[in-house]
Amino acid sequence: MHNLHIKENKPVVFQELTLEKFRDLMKRYPEGRQKSALVPILLIAQEQTGGFLTVDVLDEIASILQIKPIEVYEVATFYSMFSLGRVGKYVIELCRTGPCAMCGGEEILGYLRNKLRIDVGETTADGLFTLRTVECLAACGNAPVLQVNTEFYEKLTPEKIDRLIDELKSKAGKPIPFEETWAGKFC
């Protein structure tokens, strides 16, 4: 069953600061065009509700934006940065488009799979890392490239991957700094 069929009817309550951020984002667009704020609002909602979007959260966003739930479902299911199921604290998205592939991206993918002992689409048993492949991250000049949550890592080598994974593991028990969250990015 697709996760979009699972509605738990759990109340979704965003903190007042988060709602304020949503209102700020909506104000950036003309009256009646508040749907234009949907992507940043979904990104913030996702990180504030455990890293993935439930139907209840999507419905609450629809209600906040005063649009139909289907309009939110369409966006949440189209873009690769939205998760409709549980993911790790760190979502690693490796670019697999041509320029990155030609600059060693495939080797980096193999290295990551071996290092994390998971395949694409899986999450490590400790709940820390989810591995995904995505299309061009728009940083082709510094290929190969990956994104972890909001942060980019470029000109990847196995040594850089080792350092990155070690660094993320060392921060595993701490909250992600505000400036590295979507809420922080959309200030």
Is 61 or 145 the residue whose CB approaches ligand FES more closely?
A: 145
Q: How far is the CB of 11 from ligand FES (least distance, A)?
A: 40
The number of CA neighbours under 13 Å toward the Cβ of 113 is: 11
**Residue type at position 16:** E
Strand partners, 134: 95
Find tokens 């922080």 and name the residue: 184
97 counts as binding ligand FES under rule CB under 6 A: yes
C-beta closer to ligand FES: residue 103 or 165: 103
Could you give the CA distance from residue 20 to residue 32 in angstroms, rounded to a whole number?
A: 18
Q: How far apart are CA 119 and CA 110, in angstroms?
A: 9
Query: Could you say which residues in the range 103-142 bind ligand FES, by CB under 6 A?
Result: 136-140
Task: Please report, for residues 35, 44, 159, the alpha-carbon distance to residue 1 in angstroms, rounded to integers and kept in the order given.
Answer: 28, 26, 40
Residue with tokens 């009256």: 31
The least CB distance from residue 101 to ligand FES, in Å, is: 8
> Given the DSSP bridges, would you call strands 146-148 and 129-134 parallel, antiparallel or unpaired?
unpaired
146 binds ligand FES (CB under 6 A): no
Binding span for ligand FES by CB under 6 A among 25-33, 77-85, 97-105, 116-124: 97-105
99 binds ligand FES (CB under 6 A): yes
Least CB distance from residue 12 to ligand FES, whole Å?
Answer: 34
By CB under 6 A, how many residues form the interface with ligand FES?
11
Q: Which two tokens stand for residue 88?
A: 């790790």
95 binds ligand FES (CB under 6 A): yes
Cβ nearer to ligand FES, comparing 26 with 109? 109
List contacts with ligand FES (CB under 6 A): 95, 97, 99-100, 136-140, 143, 145
